[in-house]
């Protein structure tokens, strides 16, 4: 079972995510994306997206989704971990594009093993909640629970 990173278009990545991401299949867009193949079959994708408006233009990029085919080996099993490979590949591409930091988030039930294996450090937990404000109403969040926040310095 040979894994390798491959290029994918943002459109192809968004389609893959819509079909396979287990809790957030809807994603508005992607700055860039990467894929991972196993024995010639695409088995996962990851996308980089714009951070919140307050962070835009600060050299930060958000890894907005990482979705892999169900049943792939996890970190610590004998085969290559697809999610860790995807996170690392997105970070290499972001570094080459001049980004300084990469950020991503996990749900409370996720241990972040793949993210940690890709060199991220845990930064605590978000406050959770809704994004809607009286001045800018939004649709209810799919999951308003607090999330784990992870960061990787891309200048090292």
Q: What is the pTM of this model?
A: 0.85
Nearest-CA neighbor of 94 among 52, 34, 37? 34
For residue 16, CA distances in Å to 6, 74, 84, 112, 154 come to 14, 20, 18, 22, 27
Q: Rounded to an integer, what distance in angstroms lies between the CA atom of residue 148 and that of residue 156?
A: 23
Read off the CATH number of the domain in which 94 is found: 3.40.630.30
Q: How many domains does the chain have?
A: 1
- The set of residues, in sequence order, having a beta carbon less than 8 Å from that of 24 and lying 6+ positions away, is 65, 142, 143
Q: Rounded to an integer, what distance in angstroms lies between the CA atom of residue 112 and that of residue 117?
A: 8
**Structure token pair of residue 93:** 């591409």
Domain that holds residue 124: 3-153
Q: What pLDDT digit, counting tens, does each position of 21-55 carry?
A: 766 656 667 889 999 998 899 999 999 988 776 67
Q: What pLDDT digit, counting tens, does each position of 56-91 carry?
A: 677 888 888 888 888 776 655 544 588 899 999 999
In terms of DSSP H, where are the helices of the chain?
10-20, 82-96, 113-117
């Amino acid at each position: 079972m040979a894994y390798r990173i491959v290029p994918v278009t943002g459109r192809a990545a968004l389609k893959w995510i819509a079909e396979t991401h287990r809790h957030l299949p809807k994603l508005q867009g992607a700055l860039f994306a990467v894929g991972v193949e196993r024995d010639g079959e695409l088995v996962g994708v990851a996308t980089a997206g714009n951070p919140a408006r307050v962070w835009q233009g600060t050299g930060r990029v958000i890894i907005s989704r990482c979705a892999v085919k169900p049943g792939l080996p996890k970190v610590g099993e004998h085969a290559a971990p697809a999610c860790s490979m995807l996170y690392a590949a997105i970070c290499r591409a972001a570094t080459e594009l001049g980004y300084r930091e990469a950020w991503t988030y996990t749900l409370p039930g996720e241990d972040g093993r793949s993210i940690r294996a890709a060199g991220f450090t845990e930064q605590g937990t978000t406050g959770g909640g809704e994004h809607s404000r009286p001045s800018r109403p939004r649709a209810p969040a799919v999951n308003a629970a607090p999330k784990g926040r992870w960061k990787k310095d891309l200048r090292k």
